[in-house]
Amino acid sequence: MARKKTLTKPVALSRVFMTELVLPNDTNQLGNLLGGRLMHWIDIAAAIAAQRHSGCVCVTASVDKLNFHLPIRLGDVVTLQASVNRAFRTSMEVGVLVTSQNIGRDKAERANNAYLTFVAVDSEGSPVPVPGVRPESPDEQRRFDEALIRRQQRLTLRGS
């Protein structure tokens, strides 16, 4: 008997936690984390989340929003939390929250957040269908609903 394909997966199965220490080679002349280095880390965390959800290799299709809320300094511990917010036919929106904590601070602070779109591909690089997302909390449902609005905005901008 053939196994039935899962039509949806919970957000939790795609969740990624990545931790990085900001070292001198990661910073600019002011001792702040280079924006490009952070974008690299964000892309990696988001790609892993997309691949966990889809079970396929995933490629970055777009980065539509990357907000810098506060500088990340040399010696800070950076935590990236990524998960799939919503899946469409072959694409997925992944949200990434970046927090930063310095040894002298009691708690981590939100430093950045980003939304990326990934497409699942086969061995020839052709898009393949992905499972849907099953939100299981009010926050996951909010992100799921907002992802559709962002997708509609992306498609509108692409058409103009």
Tell me the pLDDT of the chain (160 aa) as tens digits: 444 455 899 999 999 999 999 999 999 999 999 999 999 999 999 999 999 999 999 999 999 878 889 999 999 999 999 999 999 999 999 999 999 999 877 789 999 999 999 999 999 999 999 999 999 999 999 999 999 999 999 888 887 6
Report d(CA 33, CA 64) in Å as an integer: 21
Q: Please choose, from the candidates 84, 73, 70, the residue with its C-alpha nearest in 3D space to the C-alpha of residue 24.
A: 73
Our CA angle for 82, 153, 91, nearest 5°, is: 45
Cα torsion 46, 108, 148, 12: sign = positive
pLDDT of residue 3: 43
Which domains, and CATH codes, for the chain?
9-159 (3.10.129.10)
Task: Specify whether the CB–CB gap between 125 and 79 falls below 8 A.
Answer: no
